[in-house]
Chains A and B, each alone.
Chain A
Amino acid sequence: MNTRTNSTPPHAEFFPPATPPPRRSVPWVRLRNDLLELGRVWPVIHNMVSQELRVRYQRSFLGFLWSLLNPILMMITMTAVFSKILGRNEPAYALYLFSGLVPWLFLSGSLTDAAYCIIQNEGLIRKIYIPKLVFPVSRILFNLVNFLLTLLALFVLLVPLGAKFSLAMLFLPVSIALFTVFVLGLGIGLAVLNTFYRDCGHLVGVFLQAWYFMTPILYSTRDLETIPLFVKLNPAYPFIAQFQAIIRYGQMPSGSMIFASFVLAFVCLGVGYAAFKSHEDKLVFRL
């Protein structure tokens, strides 16, 4: 064999000696760099989200109005079903239901999307360098936009459903922000998990269904004598209950609830982010 394997680069003499490899930087520096990088690719995220919204409504006559109209129609249908067929003839119940269901749909939609976001963007990931965090983040932002629009629709229906606007609603942005952080943490964790173990995608649907019934959305803890353990330990409960307290009852959520959701949200984001970052490099080989 005439293969000369070179241990030193042939042009070594023309160059100054190699700089030492970058030292493992401290976590917060890496975090800052990540955020900077994410900021740089913000146009990409923005583009992905807006494009998704556009594709969804293009060529329909009412266009973007559908995103508002759809949830309104859904809620009217459900109110009709519950009041006429099931005989729960109380608009308050409908209001309670929606105040929990709307945020839940954000959670389940985001997680389902996030689970497949890396796999679906295989083409892009294999062809061009892009921070992979872009994909789950843009999926969750897309769902967040829908969530906010649905919430807006709910507010349109608030008066017909017999609710009053209250001061507590001013706290809603905080609840939404905390909930988004929580969903983001779960979403990025799930994105990386499902890329490595494709089975997860199948489990997500079933798991979400079970989780849905374990969360007081259809029923209320106020109707139960004791709060069951699965509700107490349910990580979605503090978030959903906040929305219910604010929208249905017009009350500020309790301090312990806010604190619990705050801790949960950031622990979730931290774990999800760490999981994602530690596997980000290997993702391209698993597609």
Chain B
Amino acid sequence: MPPSNLMKTSLSSAFRTKYTRHDRRSATEALIELENVALRFVSYHDKQYSIKRAVLNLLLQREEPKPVSEFWALQGVNLRIGLGERVGILGHNGAGKSTLLRLMARIYPPTHGSLEIRGIVAPLIEMGAGFNPELSGRDNIFLNGALLGFNRREMNERLEGIWAFTGLEEFADMPLKYYSSGMYVRLAFAIATEVEPEILLIDESLGVGDASFVDKAKTRLKRVMEKSNAVVIVSHDMDSLRELCTRGIWMDHGRVVDDGPIDRIVDEYIEKVRNAG
């Protein structure tokens, strides 16, 4: 049996036994599946969407006025990300990369199309999202774990690993508001990586902390990526994308422009940027 095949079967069986919630789904199904997904942002900034306006519209039989500004952050996105894929998303600023990641994290619901996510998602999109500054470090670990779908017992088992990575055990009972930003980031990163999520979403979060932390984080991230079933990274750092990913997705103006092996995509992207510049 070829080694790649072997790995796949062991991974899929682990996937099946570990999470009974998805027991009826076969592991060959895509973990992330976007079908013709579009996302529209509507801004009502100038005119408040107020009760007065709603009542007036109703009374005067007016048409719902056109929103001040709307734009399609994503359009016609078709993606299937399967077991064991490491996907890097690249594109210039405002291309919809982060929006796509947030969509996968189920923060934004798609305006059109269907989105299916199978498994526990750990978003490393914003460091420390879901932290409560009033609570102690330890309590925040439990809170964050709960937000990711892990109960107290499951988080208790992971406590050791989190302290080991962060070295923050002596501050466990200190409220988070007294943590330095570095400590904050370390804790957030440690939690998101310690839970061994099935799907890991990362948004440029490697660029934080001091050099030694970045190195440590990269090593840890690689280990977690090996264990998790799918990884999606948004980054402008082409070298780390090449290093970490197997598949690249090039986004432009909310659309997927190209999708393929990471090296080809990165090369083409660099070429394009150079030509444009």
Tell me which of B51, B114, B121, B139 contacts A47 (CB under 8 A).
B139
Q: Beyond A3-B252, A128-B107, A285-B42, is A55–B125 a contact (Cβ under 8 Å)?
A: no
Q: How far is the CB of A38 from chain B (nearest CB, A)?
A: 12
Contact with B along A39-52 (1 / 0, CB 8 A): 01101100100010
- Interface contact B105-A128, CB-CB below 8 Å: yes
Among B58-66, B146-154, B230-238, the one that faces the other chain is B146-154
Determine whether A160 belongs to the interface, using a CB cutoff of 8 Å to chain B. no
Q: How far is the CB of B171 from chain A (nearest CB, A)?
A: 18
Q: Beyond A11-B259, A51-B135, A124-B130, is A40–B50 a contact (Cβ under 8 Å)?
A: no
Contact with A along B98-136 (1 / 0, CB 8 A): 000000011111000010100001010110011010110
**Residues in A neighbouring B125, C-beta threshold 8 A:** 127
- Interface contact B80-A196, CB-CB below 8 Å: no
- Interface contact A127-B129, CB-CB below 8 Å: yes
CA separation between A10 and B114, bound complex, in Å?
18
CA separation between A199 and B252, bound complex, in Å?
39
Size bracket of the A interface: 35 or more
Determine whether B52 belongs to the interface, using a CB cutoff of 8 Å to chain A. yes
CA separation between A41 and B149, bound complex, in Å?
7
CA separation between A41 and B108, bound complex, in Å?
19
Q: Beyond A47-B146, A198-B50, is A127–B107 a contact (Cβ under 8 Å)?
A: yes
A:2-53 near B, CB below 8 Å: 2-12, 14-16, 18-19, 21-22, 40-41, 43-44, 47, 51
Q: How many A-B residue pairs have CB under 8 A?
A: 115
- Interface contact B258-A4, CB-CB below 8 Å: yes
**Residues in A neighbouring B273, C-beta threshold 8 A:** none
**Residues in A neighbouring B105, C-beta threshold 8 A:** 128-129
**Residues in A neighbouring B209, C-beta threshold 8 A:** none
CA separation between A199 and B134, bound complex, in Å?
30
Q: Beyond A7-B76, A47-B142, A285-B42, is A18–B33 a contact (Cβ under 8 Å)?
A: yes
**Residues in A neighbouring B146, C-beta threshold 8 A:** 41, 43-44, 47
Determine whether B41 belongs to the interface, using a CB cutoff of 8 Å to chain A. yes
Q: Beyond A5-B76, A128-B130, A198-B50, is A10–B260 a contact (Cβ under 8 Å)?
A: yes
CA separation between A32 and B136, bound complex, in Å?
34
CA separation between A18 and B132, bound complex, in Å?
40
- Interface contact B48-A198, CB-CB below 8 Å: yes
Tell me which of A9, A51, A126 contacts B259 (CB under 8 A).
A9
Q: Which residue of A lies closest to B257 (CB)?
A: A3
Determine whether A260 belongs to the interface, using a CB cutoff of 8 Å to chain B. no
- Interface contact A40-B35, CB-CB below 8 Å: no
Contact with A along B37-60 (1 / 0, CB 8 A): 000011000001111101000000
Q: How far is the CB of A25 from chain B (nearest CB, A)?
A: 14
Q: Which residue of A lies closest to B36 (CB)?
A: A7
Tell me which of A16, A40, A200 contacts B28 (CB under 8 A).
A16
**Residues in A neighbouring B79, C-beta threshold 8 A:** 9
Q: Beyond A4-B258, A127-B129, A284-B107, is A15–B82 a contact (Cβ under 8 Å)?
A: yes
Q: Beyond A21-B35, A41-B147, is A129–B106 a contact (Cβ under 8 Å)?
A: yes
- Interface contact A3-B255, CB-CB below 8 Å: yes
**Residues in B neighbouring A44, C-beta threshold 8 A:** 143, 146-147
CA separation between A5 and B38, bound complex, in Å?
13
Q: List 30 A-B contacts (CB under 8 A).
A: A3-B255, A3-B257, A9-B79, A16-B29, A18-B35, A18-B80, A19-B29, A40-B149, A41-B146, A43-B143, A43-B146, A47-B135, A47-B139, A51-B134, A51-B139, A124-B130, A127-B125, A127-B129, A128-B129, A128-B147, A129-B105, A196-B49, A198-B48, A199-B50, A200-B51, A282-B109, A284-B107, A284-B109, A285-B41, A285-B108
Q: Can you add 18 more A-B contacts, CB < 8 Å, to A14-B82, A44-B146?
A: A5-B255, A5-B256, A5-B257, A6-B256, A10-B258, A19-B29, A21-B116, A22-B116, A41-B149, A47-B143, A51-B139, A124-B130, A126-B107, A128-B123, A197-B49, A199-B50, A199-B52, A281-B109
Interface residues, chain B, with chain A CB atoms under 8 Å away: 28-30, 33, 35, 41-42, 48-52, 54, 76, 78-80, 82, 105-109, 114, 116, 121, 123, 125-126, 129-130, 132, 134-135, 139, 142-143, 145-147, 149, 151-152, 247, 252-253, 255-260, 272
